[in-house]
Every structure is written in structure tokens, then in C-alpha cells.
Amino acid sequence: MNFFKRAWLNVWAKKGRSVLLILVSSAILMFVLAGLLIRSAAVKATETAKTDAGATMTLSANRQAAFKKMQSSSSSSSSKSSRPKLTLTPVKLSDAKRIAKLSNIKSYNVTSSTTANAKSYETVSTSTGMSDSSGGGPGGMKSTSSSSGDTQINGVTATALTTDFTDNQSKITKGRGIKASDQGTNNVVIEKDLASQNNLTVGDTMTIKETTGSKSTRKVKVVGIYKASSTSSVSAGPMSTDPANTIYASYTLANTIKGSKYTGTADSVTFNVTNPAKASATKKAGNKLISSKYALSTDDASYQAIKASMDSVEGFANKIVWLVAIAGTIILALIVILMIRERRFEIGVLLSLGEARWKIVAQFFTEMLMVIVVALAIAGVGGQFVGNQLGSQLVSQSTTTQTSSSRTSGQPGGSGQPGGGSGGMRGGAGGPGSTTNSTKTKNPDLEITVSAVDLAELGGFGLAITFLSIMIASGGILRLEPKKVLIS
């Protein structure tokens, strides 16, 4: 009788022991499979985050270089009246277009901000404990300086590419947003409160008054109305206006209002990176295309937060796999050792009949292999459930809410722009010359599914655990003497 047949007869005859081995093996393999599934799901979630979370790269004036230049000019100047001012160079769109041709750039958004005074409408007033500002009829409130108006104009390539709209901080409620096709037009998108206060709707025209040069008036057409999620400007300071007074337009219109010397320039250009993992390499390539007057900065905080969390989940899943595999090997080895001690007489008889020791070891391995096959099927059914439960717990513990505040100050315009024009005052909650973004990053749910690859990998672990446990326990078989076994 060959050892395959003996193994089958023994498994069938000892049903209670076989069921116990199946249950133990199923539990071990189930947790091993859960770890494998969580690990693969974490890797998949990290890959998905490359497109969902995304990353951006911003081209703007190099403030540090401009500050050093100002200091050197200041040290060489002895007259206080001729003390130099911080001068930031507007970004050339030609440079931005060269960077946009890099392989890892998906799209880009040009930003050019300025201010104007209301002429045919009233601005939304905000009262604080420090001051009380009001629209005061056509023309709005009186500006706090000769170069800043009561209406903030944010010039962009498209509103759909701005963080306010992509993060759902602002939402189009009527009409449409600004598009790339609006370049060279006077189309604008206004805030809902400003529209309600002045009975404006899509298709109406507004008149604004420039704050520099000839201070001429300009008619703009409302093509859309948006709703901002927050209209509080308490932290903005006395120099700012209510966020409802922010108008979105094409960057070409903002440049026209700022003056002819700003044609073909921008305050900053934001590039959307296709693969956040290669953001640093893309930044290095972009730096080679620009002069020292400009600087490139990357923002992949959302991707890095998700990646760090998923790396933590993946690392914990690896620990589950190896700890359960090692513990399972030890447990099965102990069970097999006890099983061998019960079958010492059977082993002695087989050895006395001339059966090779390796065949006896192979018989025990075959018995365990039959058990593992059944346990593998059970683990394949229950492993996904266990994996989902463990995965949800791990993700809930690793979910982080990251609040990032970025301040961008001294852009071309305002008091820091060349010539002291009306370019860069940033109204709203951020205060002059700054923007503050608060973003929440939530980890993606793990999509845990059992695939043929996972089952094949689990089968490999099952074979390895079985082989190691049999090898550990077979040391006693190799040392047995048939005569001593039969006499005892």
C-alpha cells in the first residue's frame, strides 16, 4: 500500500482529528489571507490616490531673490527718500507654457488678481468692531488707498481649475463658470449675495471703475453666479472687503485692468501634476526652464497624507501575515508532534516492514496537505469578511484630517508691484496679499476583493506552513528505532 492511500484512509478514519486540523488551519489561513488582502488593497488605494488626491506645482515670483536684491540696493543707497522697494517680477506666460509641455503636467491655471471700484452697483458691506464700511450707493465705499478698490477681481484661466471650486468651497448656482474660451472677453462670475443685493442675474451687465491710470470705467457681463461656502471676513483686517465682493474673470481682463505692461503676465501659474509621486522630478525639470527671478513650489500634501496612512496600513498588514504565519507554523508543528506521538506504534510497524522513513514523513505531509486544501477553500470564503472588518478598523484609526494654511504674499501688484499699480491686493478672509486654504484629507476606503492571485499566494503560504510544521515534527520519526518502539 503506497503512502498516498494510507494518508487518505487515515484522514477518513480519524474524522474528529481531521475536523480539528481543518478548523485550526482555516483560522490560520483566514488571517493570513486577510493580511494579504489588506496589503494589496492598501497598495491599490495608494495608486488610486495619485489621480484622486493629485498634486500641484506653482510658478510665482522668487520673493527671496527679490528681497536680496532690495537689500543690496538698500546698502548702496545713502538717501532715505530713495530707499528701494521690494519689486517682484510678474510671471511670463511664455515660461509657463514651456513648463506646461512637460510630460507630467496635466493642465494649468493662470492667476492674475487686481481690484476695482464699483460704479453701477453696491458692494456688500461688512461691519466689524474696528470699522464700519458701506457701499454708499453707486461706486461703493471709498477705497482705503489710491491703488485698491472695493471689488476684488480674481483673473483665472478657468474657475473649474481653482481650489475654491475643486474643493467645493465655492459652487456655481446659475449660469456657468469662467472658461478658457473667455480670454479676451469681459465675462465675469459674481457671488450670490452681491447679485441678490443688486438684483443682478445671468446676462446682466455691470460697470466697474479702474483704480489706476486714467481710472476709466469698464462694462462687464455676468455669465454666472457662484455661492461661497463662507463669507466671514472678521480675520481679514481693516484693509479687506467682504468675500462676496470677489468677482471671477479671465486673467486677460484682470491684466487689462492692471495696465498694458501686464499683458502676457500673471501673478502665479498653478500646474496640475499627473503623477504626484513624480512631483519632485517635475519640479527639477521645470526649474531648468525658468530664471532665478521665479520660483517653483510643489503641494502634494493630500497625496502624501494618504500615502503615509496607506503605508502604515500596508505595514500592519505585513505584520499580520508574518506573525500569523509564524504562529500558525508553531501551532501546527505542535499538533503534528502530538499526532506523531500517538502513532508511534504505527510508525514502528511501518519501519519494521521496511518502509522508508521519507515515505512516512511524506504520508504525514500528504495528510496535512489534504487538510490544507479544505482549509484553503474555507479561508477563501471567510477571508474577505475578516479582511473587510480588519481593514475598516485600520483605516478608521489611520484616517487623518490635515489642515494646511498657505500664505502667498507680495504678488505682483499692490504696494509691492512694479510701479505701485493696482495688482495684488487679496481681499476676503486671507487679508491683503494672502490666501488661506483649509483642506481635509480623508483616506479612501479599502476595496478588499479575493482574486485568483490572492488565493495562489495563500496556497503558497499554506504549503510553506505545512512543510515547515512537518519538518519540525519529523525529527522524532528519523530518530525512532523500530525494535524499541515495538518492545515498548
Do 269 and 387 lie in one domain? The reply is no
Instruction: Tell which wins on pLDDT, 233 or 109.
Output: 109
Question: Does the residue 437 lie in any domain?
Answer: no
- For the cut 80, the answer to whether the pLDDT of residue 180 exceeds it is yes
Q: Report how far Cα 377 is from the mean position of its chain's Cα atoms.
A: 37
- Give me the pLDDT at residue 235, please: 38
Do 347 and 257 lie in one domain? The reply is no
Do 389 and 355 lie in one domain? The reply is yes
Do 248 and 99 lie in one domain? The reply is yes
Domain with 211, as residue range(s), is: 55-299+409-430
Q: Name 127's bridge partners.
A: 132
Cell numbers given for 9: 484512509
| Average pLDDT for 430-454 | 56
Q: Are strands 217-228 and 187-191 parallel, antiparallel or unpaired?
A: parallel
Range in 124-138, 154-168, 297-311, 395-409 with the lowest mean pLDDT:
395-409
- For the cut 60, the answer to whether the pLDDT of residue 128 exceeds it is no
The label of the residue with cell 471700484 reads 117
- For the cut 80, the answer to whether the pLDDT of residue 160 exceeds it is yes
| Average pLDDT for 36-52 | 74
pLDDT class of 189 with cuts at 50, 70, 90 = very high
Size (the chain), residues: 488
In this predicted model, what pLDDT tens digit does every residue of 55-87 receive, in sequence order?
A: 888 998 877 766 777 676 666 655 555 566 666
Do 233 and 263 lie in one domain? The reply is yes
Q: What integer best gives the mean pLDDT of the chain?
A: 77
- Give me the pLDDT at residue 140, please: 39
Cell numbers given for 373: 486544501
**Cβ proximity of 217 and 208 under 8 Å:** yes
Residue 142 DSSP label: P
Do 235 and 262 lie in one domain? The reply is yes
Range in 164-168, 418-422, 476-480 with the lowest mean pLDDT:
418-422
- Give me the pLDDT at residue 48, please: 73
Question: Does the residue 238 lie in any domain?
Answer: yes
Question: Does the residue 455 lie in any domain?
Answer: yes
Question: Does the residue 79 lie in any domain?
Answer: yes
Q: Could you count the other beta carbons within 10 Å of the beta carbon of residue 449?
A: 12
| Average pLDDT for 200-224 | 90
Do 171 and 272 lie in one domain? The reply is yes
Q: How many domains does the chain have?
A: 2
Do 269 and 362 lie in one domain? The reply is no
| Average pLDDT for 168-191 | 93
Range in 127-136, 384-393, 428-437 with the lowest mean pLDDT:
428-437
Question: Does the residue 439 lie in any domain?
Answer: no
| Angle between helical axes of 15-52 and 357-398 (0-180°, round to 10) | 40
Q: Report how far Cα 65 is from the mean position of its chain's Cα atoms.
A: 31
Question: Does the residue 438 lie in any domain?
Answer: no
Angle at 271 between CA 268 and CA 275, to 5 degrees: 155
Instruction: Tell which wins on pLDDT, 164 or 435.
Output: 164
Do 283 and 362 lie in one domain? The reply is no
Instruction: Tell which wins on pLDDT, 418 or 469.
Output: 469
- Give me the pLDDT at residue 418, please: 37
**Cβ proximity of 471 and 357 under 8 Å:** no
- Give me the pLDDT at residue 446, please: 66
